[in-house]
Chain A
Amino acid sequence: MTPKELKERLKEWARVEKKKIAGIEGTRAKAEYIWEYYKIWIVCIIFFVWFAGFAIHQYATNRMDYRCYIIFNNTNADVGTDSELWFDYVRYAGFDSDDGDIEFNAQSYFDYLKGVTGNSYFESFVTYADGGILDGFVTGTESLRALGKSGRLLDLNSEECASIKAKYGDRFIYSEPYDEDYAGKEVPVGIDISDSKLVKEYHAYVDPISLGIGAKSENIDAVELFLDFILEK
């Protein structure tokens, strides 16, 4: 059927249907007739219209452009979003909720040293890291050092974090990556924060901990502010 033929057929059908409906007595009977024959179409159309509305609404309001996304690994303390730590940080950094979301994820439990195969939390971490969403990652120092070998944490010698290097270079944790290009060379992948407020004030951790920055992070300044916040005297 060519498009023209299709149009003709539809017009013809519409005409016949309209006549039929006009021929039925009473609005109630008309409604019953329409429902009887076209209920599937009606339901489908309603669903699609609702869905289109939903999709547009979501697109307009819910797209997450995180201003700062930090994962706190292996902690049982309440340091996630809307926690005390979160509020204090947001206040310190002077962020406005209009700037985009600030998300602290404390639901992460994996130890790279003990093996992470099949650990869904680790897979989450990889998704966020490779997707460019992860900004900061806090976990035990040795664990972070091992994790740094995979190249998912930012090389702290790079230009983007020059200011971090200037301030906290003495706290750097070094690691030798898997990548053959770096054979023998050690790369700073984390910043030791064992004496920070996270341990002392918020009691989120006990053992030596470090913070790493996501390799594809676009909010390194936010992480720097976080570092300033927890390391300030």
Chain B
Amino acid sequence: MENARTRDRVSKTIMYIVLIIMAFIMLVPFAWMILTALKTNQEAISVSPFYIFPHNGWHWETFSEVWKSYNFFLLYKNTLLMIFFRVVCACLTATMAGYAFGRLKFPGKNFLFSLVLIQMMIPSTIFIIPQYLMVSGLGWLNTCAGLVFPGIVTAFGTYLLKTGYQGLPKDLEEAAGIDGCNIGQKFLRIMMPLTRSSMVSLGIFTALFAFKDLMWPMIVCTSVQTTTLAAGLAKAQGQYGSNYPQMMGAAVLAVIPMIVIYVIFQKQFVEGIATSGGKL
């Protein structure tokens, strides 16, 4: 017993050390963002001497300045709306297609799936101009629908969920089939709920990509009423030349909802651990 416990403690300590070192490495840019927001512009851009911490006082007022110079509530609202719809659309379409590719047989399945894979290989800059023309032609410029447009379907999500569905045990379907479910019911009531962790991951990634997307909101939403965080804050970089404390202050404020979304979503992961024995 003693051996097992010391072994346990040693391995736990090693894990903690590794985690803390990695955490420190990961935190550096984020901490740097916050610290830069608290510096003066001179300190921020000076390379030699290089300031890690602000030397001329900690300018917390940068945050309030930035808050006042943008309508953050509007930006948050637009961004969150866009993220919400993109996540819903992506999850819906990807889970349906993922189930079909992962569990059903139909002619042409491999060909269609290769289309999905090929989409991921094409650099996304190619899609922007044609998609813009489509959105413009539909009259969806400066609308939430226009922002959501490229995110309605997701090849990555389809592949992710196909992998998720393939990992589920085969017997489940057969059991349900005997009970008289048709494929649609099997999907809705049994299979889909079991891929929850994959869907959560997809939600996180879709939200993240939608949040960071700068190019698309910039050309689709020219009005300040409808633009998103990324595009709205890009003005800070352009207009004021490089006022780094302001830029970083804006970036920090913008990131907060994203972190909140992530923390909420990943609690779903934690629930998974709590239910022992996986899903059965």
Contact = CB atoms under 8 A, between A and B. Distances in A.
Direct touching of A and B (C-beta under 8 Å): yes
A131 B133 contact: yes
A60 B139 contact: yes
Interface size bucket, A side?
20 to 34
Contact of A124 (B137, B141, B219): B219
Nearest to B131: A127
A133 B235 CA distance: 22
B132 A131 contact: yes
A1 to B, nearest CB: 10
B239 A105 contact: no
18 contacts: A55-B145, A58-B139, A58-B143, A58-B145, A63-B136, A64-B136, A76-B239, A103-B222, A107-B235, A108-B238, A120-B215, A121-B234, A123-B125, A127-B129, A127-B219, A128-B219, A131-B132, A131-B136
A86 interface: no
A130 B139 contact: no
Contacts of A109: 237-239
Contacts of B234: 120-121
Given A127-B128, A131-B132, A61 B238 contact: no
A127 B132 contact: yes
Interface in B195-249: 214-215, 218-219, 222, 234-235, 237-239
B87 to A, nearest CB: 16
Interface of A: 54-55, 58-64, 76, 103, 105, 107-109, 120-121, 123-124, 126-128, 130-131, 133
Contacts of B122: none
Contacts of B262: none
A123 B129 CA distance: 10
B256 interface: no
Nearest to A58: B139
Contacts of A60: 139
B73 to A, nearest CB: 21
B200 to A, nearest CB: 21
A3 to B, nearest CB: 17
Contacts of A54: 145
B150 to A, nearest CB: 13
